[in-house]
Amino acid sequence: MQVIRDDGSLDPKLDPGLSIDEVVALYKAMVRTRIVDDRLERTQRQGRIAFHVGSLGEEAAIVGAAAALRDRDWIVPCYREVGALLWRGYPLQQYVDHMYGNAGDPVRGRQMPDHTFSRAKRYLAVSAPIGTQIPHAVGLAMAIKKRELDECVGVFFGDGATSSNDFHAAMNFAGVFQPPVLFLCRNNGFAISLPVERQTATRTLAEKAAAYRIPAARVDGNDALAVVAAVREGVQRAANGGGPTFIELLTYRLGGHSTSDDPTVYRSDEEVEAWRNNDPLPRLRKHIERCKVWSDELDADWRAVCEREVKECVRHAEEKPASELSAMFTDVYAELPWHLREQQAQALRGPRAGAEEGES
């Protein structure tokens, strides 16, 4: 499924009907996501943060899907969907604070970078193990169905997650009980280093949904408007009581799996360069330029705004103190058990406390 043609015009049969202002906002959000990603990757390379998972090349699949969901709908992310969170208005400073694990981090330094959450934005906490978030999303959608709420759930995962037990358990449950959930599969070509053709015997990932009698679509995930159109259709199906939808978002991870990955080991420069020619940002930009609402000057101005914003957020994050050590022990028990109180006190006394007590 494609909406944006090579010349920047739209297929009128598939056009999701966004206003030109909405399309420009979508493009600007994708650019902002990329600039934030790039800055944080460079920050990690400088040793100032520990880790980063980027979305280079996948912005249309992520931000486009978020734009099609309603504000009252829930997002259950993988670890690459911060663009969806920022689309919903999450403060960039809070995200950067999280990446530093400082005192402003909502997770209080207790999670890996890129594993944040926002109850206010209906964005669930990231779970690192592959596929574990998919049953969580189906359970959330079942609660929505039982309460008869006009909401749905969009759960993101990569192609590698379709090989997990949790994926199939969740799909089977959704097929039987018909909760309002959208399975948003970012097929970016690799499960870390394993190419998708070595992960499955099926020709596509979308056809897996047929076994569970779940409607499915295969979409050009680098076409932001095609993503919006497909996800909107799934939202409408869920709102009308039609149950789940599986959407395969065909895209490509232009960067590494994370800052701990070296993608040159398992793919060629020629392959990456071929996909750069299908970059989702220039494709959407070509459309808004065709509509005479965007220009080189506007593009440069917006990129400069985003660069300044993330630079300031990084500066403020580095000025803040680290999260308190005592936070390791809080937010689990209503009343801290005696053994954790002892460990907390020992930790606060300093790194030599345990050794000294053992010596005595």
Whole-number pLDDT of residue 354: 53
The pLDDT-based confidence of 208 (bands split at 50, 70, 90) is very high
Neighbours of 62 (CB within 10 A): 33
The pLDDT-based confidence of 326 (bands split at 50, 70, 90) is confident
Sequence spans of domains, the chain: 20-323, 325-360
Whole-number pLDDT of residue 127: 87
How large is the average pLDDT for residues 250-276?
94
Give yes or no for residue 112 having a pLDDT over 80: yes
Q: Does domain 20-323 have CATH number 3.40.50.970?
A: yes
Q: What is the pLDDT of residues 133-173, one digit of tens each?
A: 999 999 999 999 999 999 999 999 999 999 999 999 999 99
Distance CA 174, CA 245 (A): 9
Q: What share of the chain is helix, strand, coil (3-state, %, to 5)?
A: 50, 10, 40
Higher pLDDT, 282 or 357: 282
Which pair of tokens denotes residue 342?
Answer: 């002892």
Whole-number pLDDT of residue 27: 99
The per-residue b/e assignment along 315-348, b for 16 or more CB within 10 angstroms, e otherwise, is eebeeeeebeeebbbeeeeeeeeeeeeeebeeee
- Supply the residues annotated as catalytic: 253, 257, 266
How large is the average pLDDT for residues 35-52?
97
**What's the whole-number average pLDDT of the chain?**
95
How large is the average pLDDT for residues 223-243?
97
Helix (H, G, I), strand (E, B) or coil at 2: coil
Whole-number pLDDT of residue 360: 46
Whole-number pLDDT of residue 357: 56
DSSP 147-208: HT-S--EEEEEEGGGGGSHHHHHHHHHHHHH--SEEEEEEE-SEETTEEGGGT-SSS-SGGG
| Among candidate residues 262, 288, 331, the one with its CA nearest the CA of residue 106 | 331
Q: What is the pLDDT of residues 47-99, one digit of tens each?
A: 999 999 999 999 999 999 999 999 999 999 999 999 999 999 999 999 999 99
Q: 104 phi and psi, to 5 degrees?
A: -90, 0
How large is the average pLDDT for residues 190-216?
96
Which pair of tokens denotes residue 321?
Answer: 């103190």
What region, left, alpha or beta, does residue 47 occupy, with left being phi > 0 and alpha being psi -120 to 50 degrees?
left
Contact 74, 84 (CB under 8 A): no
Distance CA 76, CA 155 (A): 5
**What percentage of the chain carries pLDDT values higher than 90?**
93
- The rounded Cα 202 to chain-centroid distance in angstroms is 25
